[in-house]
Amino acid sequence: MTALFGRRAAALGLLGLAGCVQTAAVDRSGPLDPVDPETLMGRTPAAVLSDLGEPELQRREPPVEVWQYRSDACVFDVYFDEAGDRADPVVVYWEARSRDSGPADPPRCLGDVIAAGRAAGRAG
């Protein structure tokens, strides 16, 4: 996984450009809809916490921290990197996978995770 993350992070340039940071919050007011996971890119842990609530699992492997969210159908991982001259770590990568052997649709998975968090009282 480290090699995969390294390639992805390098390809993303670790979001070194300030203009790449998204600031729009994820909408949790309406019915379940797919949510573009790219809206998480560049967000700080505080912003992701506000959008998705508390993760079910947190793992630190400096300089990376992984937060894991789950719904009945899928698992969604958010990768933060604290490297560089940023004051806070930011999301540099995400991954969605099915809880069974089939593939996961990332926007649907993130929408499911947000809905599951709402139902469990995890998200705002």
Q: What is the pLDDT of residues 41-99, one digit of tens each?
A: 999 999 999 999 999 999 999 889 999 999 999 999 999 998 777 778 999 999 999 99
Residues 113 and 93: their CA atoms lie apart, in Å, by 17
Predicted TM-score (pTM) of this structure: 0.71
Residues 75 and 96: their CA atoms lie apart, in Å, by 6
Strand, helix or coil for residue 68 = strand
Half-sphere exposure of 52 (CA within 13 A, CB side): 27
Domain range list for the chain: 2-19+31-120
C-alpha separations of 23 from 13, 18, 19, 57, 58 in Å:
19, 11, 10, 24, 23
Q: Which two tokens stand for residue 68?
A: 């894991």
Q: Which one is predicted more confidently, 7 or 36?
A: 36
Please report the pLDDT score of residue 27 as a whole number: 45
